[in-house]
Structure 1
Amino acid sequence: MALTATRIGTISLVCVPTVEQDTAIAFYESLGFEKRTDTPFGGGYRWVELYPPVGSTGIALAPPPPGAGEVTPVLTGITLTTDDIDASHAAMKALGVDVDAEVSRMGDPVPPMFWFRDPTGHTLMVVEQP
């Protein structure tokens, strides 16, 4: 693996602030993610990592910093891939996930995509990558 001058090689985790970690864990597991880490740390906090079945980048469901107040839902910028956008969209709808009403099809070079919201209200994207 070639490293940059800063010695950075990969993206391993994307942290998503989450107050209701158990609810979020159940949600991501229902999408096929695997919980690989659930470790207590300082002051009653938990460090939780979930990974999709393919790839090495995970989502950390991290509690907000002390004193941060409520978590504000954000457009995370997290993009998940599927080999069948229509099947993924239908499966998420069947699971009761808050997904866009329709798959967005803008034409080449933009792949078909849709957005969905996790239980905290954070928005993630799914794109077709055959």
Structure 2
Amino acid sequence: MSNQTPSTIVNIGVAMFSVADQDAAVEFYSRVLGFEVRDDTRFGPEGEYRWVEVAPPGSTARLALNPPMGGAPGGGSIGVETADVAAEHARLAAIGGVDMDAISGTEDGAPPMFALRDPDGNSVWVVQA
């Protein structure tokens, strides 16, 4: 391995989720999780395609919300960090209608965490940083 040329990759900039409805996904990520819309661009012949990115305020990493490409939406997973998992869980519970699990991970030294699912079944793991 030492003979390989070092990678020039320095950052994970964009993770991508496949979603059935980009407008509904933007609504979920902005209203429920408080993400900002970082990009919403039409492209291709007659603007038939759309590139949408959302991110937590201040984050350099973004989440692209793409229509399905060769398959059904959903099934992806990302992890996001918070300083207070319990407060974020309580905030989401107060919104209501969010498909999420109870807080777990406090056993065996794991950080507190819980998973929630967007309307397409993609998982967002909220982990205490």
Determine the C-alpha separation between the residues in 1 that align with 2:10 and 2:118. Answer: 29
- Runs of at least 4 residues of structure 1 off by over 6 A? none
Over aligned residue pairs, what C-alpha RMSD do you find? 1.6
Q: CA deviation at 1:40?
A: 0.8
Determine the C-alpha separation between the residues in 1 that align with 2:71 and 2:16. Answer: 17
Identity of aligned residues (%): 43
Structure 1: which 5+ runs fail to align? none
Cα 1:69–1:105 change in 2 (3 A) is: closer
SS at match of 2:34: coil
Determine the C-alpha separation between the residues in 2 that align with 1:70 and 1:8. Answer: 30
Equivalent residue, structure 1, for 2:92: 92
Equivalent residue, structure 1, for 2:123: 123
1:54 aligns to 2:58 (yes or no): yes
1:34 aligns to 2:33 (yes or no): no
| Richer in helix (by share) | 2
Q: CA deviation at 1:32?
A: 1.1
Give yes or no for contact 2:105–2:112 (8 Å, CA) kept in 1.
yes
Give yes or no for contact 2:19–2:120 (8 Å, CA) kept in 1.
yes
SS at match of 1:8: coil
How many residue pairs were aligned?
A: 121
SS at match of 1:25: helix
1:70 aligns to 2:75 (yes or no): no
Query: Looking at CA atoms only, which structure, 1 or 2, has the larger radius of gyration?
Result: 2
Per-residue CA distance 1:8-52 (angstroms, 9 max, x = gap): 010000010112000010111011100010001225121000010
Equivalent residue, structure 1, for 2:111: 111
TM-score, normalised to structure 1's length? 0.85
Give yes or no for contact 1:85–1:128 (8 Å, CA) kept in 2.
yes
Q: CA deviation at 1:70?
A: 2.8
TM-score, normalised to structure 2's length? 0.86
SS at match of 1:116: strand
SS at match of 2:109: coil
Give yes or no for contact 1:45–1:63 (8 Å, CA) kept in 2.
no
Aligned residue type for 1:92: L
Structure 2: which 5+ runs fail to align? none
